Amino acid sequence: MESNWKGIKEAITSTCHEVLGHKKQHHKECITVDTLDKIQERRNKEAAINTSRTRAEKAKTQAEYTEVNKQVKRSMRTDKRQYVEDLATTAEKAAREGNMRQLYDITKKLSGNRRKPERSVKSKECKDTPKIFTSQEQITCQLTIDFHIESSTSGTHYLSTWLRLHSSILSKESWIN
């Protein structure tokens, strides 16, 4: 039974590998192939450290790993610098040509694609709510969430009804902004 299962498993995995292929690992745009090779070499050195048997062998492989690690970090820095310089020259070219869409996209990449920080949920008194909500605060938070979900789907009629029903909650200015 065990040998049959191994045969079936091997047939399925080999067929899937042939049809679907191997999942390719995506890396950052700024990393070059040379740096990826150095990273793989560093992984091999790390494996050699873990498999070394004697202290002397381990010390030797540790020194090799340290050297390769420095090379990887240096290569990553130069790749990042080159990538940023290429983006900057492309942005300058886009600005000269008046291609605002490309200029905007490059500026967004260079700035780091930061998202807006999430706003904390505030209680009726406009204070930050604690981690454990009271029942009234849970209802308030749920109403706020329901409002955001429903207002995006059913339009202004729902908005005016919701505002009329929950005007006591929204009486503070910080809720409206």
> Could you read off the pLDDT of 21-66 as tens digits, one per residue?
766 677 788 899 999 999 999 999 999 999 999 999 999 999 999 9
- In order of 32, 36, 91, 97, 167, the CA distances from 85 in angstroms are 15, 20, 10, 18, 53
User: Residue 81 falls within a domain, yes or no?
Assistant: yes
Q: 99 is written with which tokens?
A: 């291609």
Q: What is the pLDDT of residue 175?
A: 46
Q: Which range has the worst mean pLDDT, 1-5, 22-26, 101-105, 118-122?
A: 118-122
Number of domains, the chain: 2
160 with 94, same domain?
no
149 with 100, same domain?
no
102 with 155, same domain?
no
pTM for the model:
0.51
Cross-strand pairs, 122: 128
Angle at 18 between CA 14 and CA 20, to 5 degrees: 110
- Indicate if the pLDDT at residue 90 is higher than 70: yes
| Sign of the alpha-carbon dihedral angle for 37, 42, 47, 48 | positive
User: Residue 130 falls within a domain, yes or no?
Assistant: no
Res. 169 pLDDT band, cuts 50 70 90: low
- Average pLDDT rounded to a whole number, residues 113-139: 54
- Average pLDDT rounded to a whole number, residues 2-23: 78
User: Residue 122 falls within a domain, yes or no?
Assistant: no
Of 14-23, 60-69, 152-161, the range with the highest mean pLDDT is: 60-69
Domain extent, residue 35, equals: 26-111
38 with 105, same domain?
yes
54 with 94, same domain?
yes
Domain C-terminal end among 111, 146, 166: 111
